[in-house]
Structure 1
Amino acid sequence: MDVESSTKTEASQEVEHLTPVEDKKLDRIYRHLDFRIIPALWCLYFLTSFGGSAYGNTLTMNFETGHSLKQTLNLTSHDTSVASALEYVGFILFDLPMNLAMTKMSPQVWLSRMVVSVGLLYTCYAALKNASGLIAIRFFSGVAGAGVWPGMTYYISLWYPEHRTARRIGYYFTAAQLSASAAGLVAAGFQKMDMTRNMEGWKWLFIVYGSITIFVGFTLIWWLPDRPSHLVSPKKSFLPEKVAVFFRSPQPLTGENRRIHEQDMKARYIKLSWGWRDVVKVISDLRTWPLIIMYFGVVGTGFGLAVFGTTLISALNPSLSGIDVSLLYAPIWLFDLGGILLVTPFADKFKGLRPILFSASTLIIIVGLIVTTYAHGFWHRYSGLLIAGFGLGPTVPITMTMSSEIMLPVYGDVGTAVAAALVSGLGNLGSVTATYALYSGWPADAARLYQYSNMMLVLMLGVSIVSCAILQFMRWKWY
């Protein structure tokens, strides 16, 4: 570690002596990287996020004719809550090992493998016959998608210094919002295909979505670049050279641009050879746990609304058709997108305000849920969902950026990888709570229009705000 610290200090001094021309050139270099990396990550996250939102829509697709997924498979509320919860159990169990594996191999190949796996799993949904099959495949969907979100956070840290990451994470995080919005619109379209060739509309949706995801997943191998050249391990690949060449992606920077980027990153990024003791150090760092709890509340709320948003809308106005419900679901995530685009740039520009921005956004979600629960009239209650969507947008990118900001300087790249996986994995216990214990998992709450479920989310969000305050106190007092 002493050698690594010395190397980092020398690199920092080099950055301090960058000429004004080189300093301006850095902005152009990172914009160039944006065009190569961010669209690829956006597509990756769009496709892997789409499945969960599509699944939520299939629960109500063509319910008027008895052809929704829930009706076709004769699912009870218990079946749907168990199936949804088990997906997040897959995330929780496999996020950390998947992210650690990514530090040992070509990250773009590993990310591509995840996308292809997700596509294969969702294509298989069309063959479902009963509740047991759904419960099993939801778990394996979680396993297939485990590591995607923390893996992208780790990947972005390879190419961008910490003070430039919140905006970039926000850029590709918009894919989750747009995929949720698109899922509602796409579901409305596929309902028109119901019983075409004797297959329900939801089956057609999963077949088409899975096939597209598999195709795009393979192209990511050559679209996304590997690590920057100065971080590529000199060890020989375990694959034969002719095979290894096939999986290599060209470096996006050359010549002087590569030199300046390498100089900038060496000052801020530490790549370490790590062992299990290093992993334990990150896990035992007290700052890791408030981050997990911050994520717990906001991601639990986000996935609760993503999976059961259509259920909530339908309960608020039972006269709506399946297509109407799908169309009303989409704007929630457009408001979420607006929150990301408006707030995350400030999280990069004013690093010290990140905890305040997180807490303020979380308070907006709370306001939205209260409006949804207690306002009079359908449209007033629906506006509460839009408010909650706006607040949700910035919270996850800010949490993941704070995780990297705190762990990278102390533990190097393994700190980023482990912390991102722990925050994402254990934080998804909030998703398990929202999908298993609340909404469809709480049948008695349906008669109350899910008032108690909404208030449980408010409680979880309040705990997230308190955890953010505790984290800041720890940083001021002890770190």
Structure 2
Amino acid sequence: MDSIKSEDKDLAQAHSISSPPRDVEEGHEAATRKELDRIYRKLDYRIIPALWCLYFMTSFGSNSYGLTLTMNSDQGHSIIQTLKLVGKNTSTASALYYVGYIIFDVPMNLIMTKVRPQSWLSRIVITVGLVYLCYCKLSNSGGLIAARFISGVVGAGTWPGMSYYISLWYPIERQTKRIGFYFTAAQLSASVSGLVNAGFQKMDGERGYYGWQWMYIIYGSVTIAVGISLLWWLPDRPFKEEKTASNRFVAFYNRIATPRHPLTEEEQAIHRQDLGQRYVFVAWGWKDLAMILSDLRVWPLVIMYFGVVGTGFGLAVFGSTIIKANNPSLSSINVSLLYAPIWLFDLGGILTITPFADRFKQYRYLIFCGATAIIMVGMFVTTFAHGPWNKYAGLLIAGYGLGPTVPICMSLAAEIFGARYGDVGIAVSAALVSGLGNLGSVTATYALYSGWPADVPRLYKYSNMMLVVMLGVSCVAAVVLEFIRDRVRQTR
């Protein structure tokens, strides 16, 4: 009997050794979470500023293009006047810019899955800068139309490419906030471009160049320099497959353009364990691509993106126009100063809402709908409130709601398609959502505000309400996505 008790005691002791108390396990988990938070903060310091600069520089050109159409128009030196453009020329050039984006978004992102993503993102920035540098030599409408199309082609894959890159380094529950951080670059570049272009107008005539030519010369040169720096600034894939270089040129390039890994070997092991089985090099073929394209879940995501990016781009391009229409007494300088806070509120929405989208990822669709509802409230206030300052407050409200919507769309795409299709699923879904969803930008800028002259005396009332309708459709699409996402997976 005593021997049995002794054995039970030994078993109990052994069990206590093999199974630590719950408070010990919780303490270990808390320590692990703390260590992971530290590792991801370390990655943030290296990756997020680089992506922010990348997106700022690539967005600045498209934002500034609209301003060059009227730069130094009082002196007869705007790009419209110097190239003798008519309305058909500018509309065709603008449309072809988006055509280039939409056609080449998917192929460009597919290439990124096969090459070093850091090098591919750097290539995008360098070629964007090179093409815009060539703008300074434009001499006729045909050159402008060709240049705008080429700009769309070389810039294709920027936004989905960054989303894919983030998915390589961060797990799903940490992506939305990071995407939101660098997403602010596009809005801030829209604000900065207006102020910077005012300075370039003062350079008009210097050394025989117009103000808009100086803008493209300096912008293109700086963008090329930033693109080259990304070769050493952005880290490559977190876990690389060692491959023998195919030729001497590739071997030389790999030797000089291989950035240092931001983590120590110990941190890399913890990082790899946290990502789990997520990071797998997927060999894909045309059959896999066809499966993604035929997956019903991609289309609600496209519709979600269509509504919110259309509204965001509409306010980015015509926000100052709306402010001026609601308060005609404002000077152009005051309009520019009032335009910037819209995007500061946008940043506030990113900082305060996207962390919840990461923490409660199962409710991302509801958070998306809530943010979209805030935009709709803002548009109603802007349209129907009494007094110019009340209307302006509506733009601030809309800006706050806009912040988290696009990052949530992209993180949802990565979560849904990455789990089933791997890297190629993330790359293709991001490109489809971004490319086709950008038709919302075309709708907002060319079918509504600028393309609806009769709406000007109504202070863009109908254009604003059409954006509200698009936002409502985006909310419905988010609910549909949540309803079908598991059912589609079960039936395949």
Task: State the TM-score, normalizing by the size of structure 1.
Answer: 0.89
**TM-fit CA distance, 1:135:** 2.8
Pairing partner for 1:250 from 260, 263, 282: 260
Pairing partner for 2:197 from 150, 172, 187: 187
Q: Is 1:454 aligned to residue 464 of structure 2?
A: yes
Render the CA deviation track for 1:356-402: whole Å, top value 9, x for unaligned: 11111112222222333333443333333222222211110010001
- Partner of residue 182, structure 2: 172
Q: Is 1:424 aligned to residue 434 of structure 2?
A: yes
Larger mean CA deviation between 281-290 and 130-139 belongs to 130-139
**TM-fit CA distance, 1:73:** 4.2
Give the Cα–Cα distance (whole angstroms) in 2 for the partners of residues 380 and 82 of structure 1.
37
Larger mean CA deviation between 176-185 and 156-165 belongs to 176-185
**TM-fit CA distance, 1:227:** 0.6
Give the Cα–Cα distance (whole angstroms) in 1 for the partners of residues 120 and 241 of structure 2.
15
Q: Is 1:232 aligned to residue 220 of structure 2?
A: no
Pairing partner for 2:313 from 289, 303, 316: 303
Give the Cα–Cα distance (whole angstroms) in 2 for the partners of residues 67 and 329 of structure 1.
25
Do the aligned partners of residues 140 and 320 (structure 1) sit closer, same or farther apart at CA in structure 2, a change above 3 Å counting? farther
Give the Cα–Cα distance (whole angstroms) in 1 for the partners of residues 65 and 282 of structure 2.
40
**TM-fit CA distance, 1:317:** 4.5
- Partner of 1:441, secondary structure, is coil
Give the Cα–Cα distance (whole angstroms) in 2 for the partners of residues 404 and 355 of structure 1.
14
What amino acid sits opposite 1:91 in the alignment? Y
Contact 1:55 1:307 in 2 (8 A): no
What amino acid sits opposite 1:387 in the alignment? I
Contact 2:187 2:316 in 1 (8 A): no
- Partner of residue 211, structure 1: 221
- Partner of residue 8, structure 2: none
Larger mean CA deviation between 67-76 and 179-188 belongs to 67-76
**TM-fit CA distance, 1:66:** 4.7
Pairing partner for 1:280 from 286, 290, 296: 290
Give the Cα–Cα distance (whole angstroms) in 2 for the partners of residues 329 and 425 of structure 1.
27
**TM-fit CA distance, 1:208:** 1.5
Q: Is 1:342 aligned to residue 352 of structure 2?
A: yes
Give the Cα–Cα distance (whole angstroms) in 2 for the partners of residues 70 and 327 of structure 1.
26
RMSD between aligned residues: 2.4
- Partner of residue 146, structure 2: 136
Give the alignment of 1:59-70 within 5 angstroms.
59-70=69-80
Contact 2:296 2:488 in 1 (8 A): no
**TM-fit CA distance, 1:64:** 4.8
Q: Look at both structures and tell me which one has the larger radius of gyration over its CA atoms.
A: 2
Q: Is 1:330 aligned to residue 340 of structure 2?
A: yes
Do the aligned partners of residues 124 and 453 (structure 1) sit closer, same or farther apart at CA in structure 2, a change above 3 Å counting? farther
- Partner of 2:173, secondary structure, is helix
Q: Is 1:43 aligned to residue 49 of structure 2?
A: no
**TM-fit CA distance, 1:86:** 2.2
Structure 1: tracts of 5 or more residues without a match: 1-15
Give the alignment of 1:65-84 within 5 angstroms.
65-84=75-94
- Partner of residue 391, structure 2: 381
- Partner of residue 420, structure 2: 410
**TM-fit CA distance, 1:182:** 1.5
Give the Cα–Cα distance (whole angstroms) in 1 for the partners of residues 90 and 381 of structure 2.
27
Render the CA deviation track for 1:422-444: whole Å, top value 9, x for unaligned: 11111111112223322222333
Do the aligned partners of residues 216 and 370 (structure 1) sit closer, same or farther apart at CA in structure 2, a change above 3 Å counting? same
Give the Cα–Cα distance (whole angstroms) in 1 for the partners of residues 125 and 255 of structure 2.
21
**TM-fit CA distance, 1:80:** 3.5
Contact 2:297 2:488 in 1 (8 A): no
Q: Is 1:24 aligned to residue 34 of structure 2?
A: yes
What amino acid sits opposite 2:37 in the alignment? D
- The higher relative CO (CA closer than 8 Å, separation ≥ 6) is in 1
Give the Cα–Cα distance (whole angstroms) in 2 for the partners of residues 78 and 377 of structure 1.
37
Task: State the TM-score, normalizing by the size of structure 2.
Answer: 0.87
- Partner of residue 167, structure 2: 157
- Partner of residue 8, structure 1: none
**TM-fit CA distance, 1:243:** 3.0
- Partner of 1:249, secondary structure, is coil
Contact 2:101 2:152 in 1 (8 A): yes
**TM-fit CA distance, 1:225:** 0.9
Do the aligned partners of residues 40 and 245 (structure 1) sit closer, same or farther apart at CA in structure 2, a change above 3 Å counting? same
- Partner of residue 6, structure 2: none
Do the aligned partners of residues 250 and 103 (structure 1) sit closer, same or farther apart at CA in structure 2, a change above 3 Å counting? same
Larger mean CA deviation between 436-445 and 395-404 belongs to 436-445
Q: Is 1:443 aligned to residue 453 of structure 2?
A: yes
Render the CA deviation track for 1:70-111: whole Å, top value 9, x for unaligned: 454454454444333322211110110000000111111110
- Partner of residue 15, structure 2: none
**TM-fit CA distance, 1:22:** 4.0
Contact 1:77 1:441 in 2 (8 A): no
Give the Cα–Cα distance (whole angstroms) in 2 for the partners of residues 137 and 444 of structure 1.
31
Give the Cα–Cα distance (whole angstroms) in 1 for the partners of residues 329 and 213 of structure 2.
25
What amino acid sits opposite 2:109 in the alignment? N
Do the aligned partners of residues 326 and 152 (structure 1) sit closer, same or farther apart at CA in structure 2, a change above 3 Å counting? same
Identity %: 64
Q: Is 1:366 aligned to residue 376 of structure 2?
A: yes
- Partner of residue 392, structure 1: 402
- Partner of 1:438, secondary structure, is helix
Q: Is 1:268 aligned to residue 285 of structure 2?
A: no
Give the Cα–Cα distance (whole angstroms) in 1 for the partners of residues 218 and 432 of structure 2.
33
- Partner of 1:103, secondary structure, is helix
Do the aligned partners of residues 236 and 321 (structure 1) sit closer, same or farther apart at CA in structure 2, a change above 3 Å counting? same
Give the alignment of 1:46-57 within 5 angstroms.
46-57=56-67
Contact 1:187 1:326 in 2 (8 A): no
